[in-house]
């Protein structure tokens, strides 16, 4: 480490490469910290954690008793010199004693992506609150029809301030912080939505994973979702061809990719032993009039392909925005190629995910390690691409 | 150590060994030149020198007969050479299987291979060598386990392999998934989703599956069904299986594919369901799982055996047992055999092996 710093001083190594090198080293030797302790101010289990992305300093925690706490991870509040441990206590907590505070379990918390002046929380009491960090009060409250499982705000959004909310209701709602109203309703899932993630490359694209096992991609400027991930459509090693979204419906070239359950499939393209006699009648039969008349955004509404055999509990995009990780209650963590929408068939073993609500996945900064909570432990898995 | 059975000598009929460096050229001196430029060695000595590679060559040829669809191995294996002399890959890949269940497994695999190799030696060797591609790890593991499938008198289901068993035999799970996908697209195997758990899959060779379909068709034919209705089995095998590779199928897609054979009625679909080829999906009226007919008894055995082993292990004082005596125990609730269940549980992660001075120990995994 000191040698690396000396090299950076002299100019032998680039500053950025030293930083990534040190970071990668530390992540690989991850261990419970012996000199720093965060003292929890909650009386129950903690459901959701987030460190703000602007300064990487303040930790926001939502617990099952309805309390939300903010901790400073860099400046300790109390230094125990006897055992040489720095203790970080909560800067403040808000719970049901605050007017309009949450009364049931808080399931998801997120900092406002621009600065740490605001944060958003969602809870089982069917409400989403927008809190002001300095006054510790609720600024805005959105009412949801069902218990809230997941919220997400886009960290690269420049033109909108929408909070995506996933509840036990099948529709995803987008709530606008500027106006205080719900602007969008995205329908397509068949069961509750447990995982939401905004795209890392586009501020208009939202990924959602539901209890029905489906993962859908939504472009909020259009109606309906534009892609549904199917675990049977897979690619081995390479993307077959990166085509436009309309052509994605048809089957890709023969060696890679298998059939999809979508009704827009043209069987002529994928037939390996074409029967010339029945071809014209085949085409006539496939195009049933109902499909042709529907709105282009609604063609995927009837698509029932699933990404997991159970429910999808967590979604996470990699930093470069090319890959999507999804964890499901069938104890599988799958890696998807976002551009082609296919399963890359990478198998992450030994994950026992048995949850009744959404969880979080995390990817390390250089996109080389994946952190998966499984049963009683946290698994750190190398991402192989 | 790989134990090999003694091989019979290469046949005297040298025309069969056309693809090898021609023995006749080397052994008999060229008539044109007066003095023999090559050292004179007898044919027997030549065969002694090359006999080991001939033996191994037979193994290679056997593979080529099976991989007629030229299964391309994954990137790791395909780079290796096809040289006659360089046969380490096939042994290495067998070793690479990393089967901890004892060396007798490996011996049995070579037995299977060499027994079949003898039959094929006189086959189309020249063509075989040119088309031969390295069998992938998964294929070898699949064949090994299929050959060890326990014989059950009660049911007539052909051997299938569970995906978790493949995971416990091959080191790399991603490799297994990808190779299975490739074999599925090459129409060598068929993957079925079982109802015993959320992520259980059974893998069966295509030929076995078609044979099972025909067997269930014959069984149903004894009942009163019109021959027009029975034709749906042929339509299924000819139109649905080669095209649709997933474990499940929607009703509309099924009807579309079957109607290439003729007009499809609801009674046809009912017939397929009665035969056990289709099962309705839970919670969905219009989707079906493709299923193995008559597999219910074995599935009951599977869950019963798993539960029995886990409960037996958890009752022991230290939740572990030496592997060799464990394999000798008899299971009360399962006909599938101890080895089958141990492999399956290893792949699922419920148990794991630990090496000890007295041999491998099977231990129950704690969460």
**Which residue, B73, B143, B60, is CA-closest to B108?**
B143
Q: Which of A258, A267, A304 sits opposite B245 (nearest CB)?
A: A258
CB-based contact A282 B260, cutoff 8 Å = yes
Q: In whole angstroms, what is the distance from residue B253 CA to residue B269 CA?
A: 12
pLDDT of residue B6: 52
pLDDT of residue B315: 93
Q: In whole angstroms, what is the distance from residue A343 CA to residue A307 CA?
A: 9
Could you say which residues of chain B have pLDDT below 70?
1-131, 283-285, 367
Q: B243 — contact with chain A (CB < 8 Å)? A: yes
Whether the Cβ atoms of residue A189 and residue A166 lie closer than 8 Å to each other: no
Neighbour count for residue B4 (Cβ, 10 Å)? 13
CA distance B120 to chain A (A): 30
Tokens of B86: 């360089």
List the domains of chain B with CATH numbers.
Answer: 137-294 (no CATH), 298-364 (1.10.10)
Q: Which of B181, B247, B250 sits opposite A236 (nearest CB)?
A: B181
Q: Which residues of B167-178 are buried (b: 16+ CB within 10 A; e: fewer)?
A: bbbbebbbbbbb
User: A-B interface: how many C-beta pairs under 8 angstroms?
Assistant: 77
The complex scores an ipTM of 0.74
CB-based contact A261 B246, cutoff 8 Å = yes
- Residues of A within 8 A of B244 (CB-CB) are 259
pLDDT of residue B223: 76
| Closest residue, chain B, to A260 (C-alpha) | B246
| Closest residue, chain A, to B173 (C-alpha) | A347
For the stretch B267-316, pLDDT in tens is 888 888 888 888 888 766 678 888 888 888 888 989 999 999 999 999 99
CA distance B241 to chain A (A): 12
Q: In whole angstroms, what is the distance from residue A98 CA to residue B147 CA?
A: 69
| Closest residue, chain A, to B167 (C-alpha) | A349
Q: Which of A234, A263, A345 sits opposite B252 (nearest CB)?
A: A263
- Residues of B within 8 A of A309 (CB-CB) are 193, 198-199
Q: What share of chain B is helix, strand, coil (3-state, %, to 5)?
A: 50, 10, 40
Q: Which of A259, A282, A330 sits opposite B244 (nearest CB)?
A: A259
For the stretch B59-86, pLDDT in tens is 433 444 444 344 433 333 333 333 333 3
- H-run or E-run covering A212: none
Give the DSSP letter string of B302-358.
Answer: HHHHHHHHHHHHHHSSSSEEEHHHHHHS--SS-SS-HHHHHHHHHHHTSEEEEEETT
Give pTM, 2 decimals. 0.72
Could you say which residues of chain A have pLDDT below 50?
243-292
CB-based contact B178 A237, cutoff 8 Å = yes
Q: Which residues of A147-156 are buried (b: 16+ CB within 10 A; e: fewer)?
A: bbbbbbbbee
The CA distances from residue A235 to B166, B187, B255, in Å, are 21, 17, 27
Residue B139 CA neighbour count, 13 Å, CB half: 24
- Residues of A within 8 A of B250 (CB-CB) are 261, 263, 304
List the domains of chain A with CATH numbers.
Answer: 1-29 (no CATH), 31-104+112-117 (no CATH), 144-234+295-384 (2.130.10.10)
* DSSP assigned state of B136: P
CA distance B181 to chain A (A): 8
Q: Which of A258, A263, A275 sits opposite B185 (nearest CB)?
A: A258
pLDDT of residue A265: 38
**Helix and strand numbers, DSSP H then E, in chain A:** 5, 26
Q: B367 — contact with chain A (CB < 8 Å)? A: yes
Residue appearing with tokens 């309703």: A185
Dihedral sign from CA coordinates of B199, A232, A314, A264: negative
Q: In whole angstroms, what is the distance from residue B105 CA to residue A287 CA?
A: 54
The CA distances from residue A175 to A106, A120, A150, A199, B283, in Å, are 18, 11, 13, 17, 32
Dihedral sign from CA coordinates of B169, B172, B176, B179: negative
């Amino acid at each position: 480490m000191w040698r690396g710093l000396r090299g950076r001083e002299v100019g032998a190594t680039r500053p950025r490469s030293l930083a990534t090198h040190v970071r990668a080293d530390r992540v690989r030797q991850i261990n419970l910290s012996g000199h720093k302790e965060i003292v929890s101010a909650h009386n129950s289990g903690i459901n959701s954690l987030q460190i703000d992305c602007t300064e990487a300093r303040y930790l926001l925690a939502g617990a099952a008793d309805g309390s939300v706490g903010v901790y400073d991870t860099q400046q300790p509040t109390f230094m125990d010199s006897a055992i040489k441990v720095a203790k970080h206590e909560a800067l403040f907590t808000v719970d049901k004693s605050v007017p309009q505070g949450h009364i049931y379990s808080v399931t998801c918390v997120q900092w406002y992506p621009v600065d740490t002046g605001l944060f958003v929380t969602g809870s089982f009491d069917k409400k989403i609150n927008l809190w002001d960090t300095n006054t510790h009060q609720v600024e805005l409250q959105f009412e949801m029809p069902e218990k809230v499982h997941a919220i997400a705000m886009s960290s690269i959004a420049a033109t909108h301030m929408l909070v995506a909310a996933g509840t036990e209701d099948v529709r995803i709602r987008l709530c606008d912080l500027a106006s205080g109203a719900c602007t969008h309703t995205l329908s397509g899932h068949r069961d509750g939505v447990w995982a939401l993630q905004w795209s890392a490359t586009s501020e208009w694209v939202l990924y959602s994973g539901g209890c029905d096992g489906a993962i859908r991609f939504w472009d909020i400027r259009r109606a309906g979702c534009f892609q549904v991930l199917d675990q049977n459509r897979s690619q081995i090693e390479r993307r077959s061809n990166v085509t436009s979204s309309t052509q994605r419906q048809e089957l890709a070239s023969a060696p890679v990719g298998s059939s999809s359950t979508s009704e827009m499939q043209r069987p002529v393209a994928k037939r390996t032993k074409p029967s010339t006699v029945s071809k014209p009648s085949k085409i006539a039969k496939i195009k049933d009039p109902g499909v042709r008349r529907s709105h282009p955004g609604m063609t995927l509404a009837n698509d029932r392909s699933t990404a997991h055999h159970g429910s999808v509990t967590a979604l996470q995009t990699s930093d470069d925005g090319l890959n999507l990780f999804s964890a499901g209650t069938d104890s599988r963590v799958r890696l998807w190629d976002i551009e082609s929408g296919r399963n890359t068939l990478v198998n992450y073993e030994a994950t026992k995910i048995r949850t009744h609500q959404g969880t979080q996945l995390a990817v390390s900064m250089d996109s080389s390690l994946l952190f998966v909570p499984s049963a009683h432990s946290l698994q750190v898995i190398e991402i192989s691409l | 150590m790989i134990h090999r059975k003694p091989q019979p000598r290469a046949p005297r009929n040298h025309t069969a060994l056309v693809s090898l460096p021609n023995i006749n050229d080397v052994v008999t001196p060229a008539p044109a030149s007066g003095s023999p430029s090559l050292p004179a060695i007898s044919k027997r000595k030549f065969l002694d020198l090359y006999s080991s590679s001939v033996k191994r060559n037979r193994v290679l040829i056997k593979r080529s007969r099976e991989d007629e669809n030229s299964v391309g191995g994954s990137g790791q294996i395909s780079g290796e050479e096809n040289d006659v002399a360089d046969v380490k890959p096939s042994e290495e890949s067998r070793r690479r299987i990393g089967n901890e269940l004892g060396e007798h497994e490996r011996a049995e695999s070579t037995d299977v291979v060499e027994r079949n190799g003898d039959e094929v030696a006189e086959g189309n060797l020249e063509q075989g060598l040119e088309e031969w591609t390295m069998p992938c790890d998964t294929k070898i593991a699949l064949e090994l386990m299929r050959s060890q499938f326990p014989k059950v008198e009660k049911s007539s289901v052909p051997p299938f392999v569970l995906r978790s068993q493949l995971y416990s035999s091959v080191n790399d799970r991603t490799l297994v998934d990808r190779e299975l996908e490739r074999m599925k697209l090459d129409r060598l195997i068929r993957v079925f989703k079982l109802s015993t758990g959320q992520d259980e899959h059974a893998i069966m060779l295509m030929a076995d599956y078609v044979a099972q379909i025909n067997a269930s068709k014959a069984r149903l034919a004894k009942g009163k069904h019109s021959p027009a209705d029975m034709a749906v089995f042929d339509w299924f095998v000819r139109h649905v299986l080669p095209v649709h590779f997933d474990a499940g199928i929607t009703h509309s897609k099924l009807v579309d594919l079957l109607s290439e054979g003729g007009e499809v009625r609801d009674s046809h679909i009912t017939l397929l369901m009665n035969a056990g080829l289709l099962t309705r999906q839970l919670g969905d009226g219009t989707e079906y799982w493709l299923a193995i007919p008559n597999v219910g008894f074995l599935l009951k055995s599977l869950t019963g055996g798993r539960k029995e082993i886990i409960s037996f292990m958890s009752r022991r004082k230290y939740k572990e047992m030496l592997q060799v005596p464990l394999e000798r125990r008899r299971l009360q609730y399962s006909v599938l055999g101890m080895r089958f269940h141990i492999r399956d549980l290893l792949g699922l992660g419920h148990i794991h092996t630990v090496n000890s001075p007295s041999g491998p120990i099977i231990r129950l995994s704690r969460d």
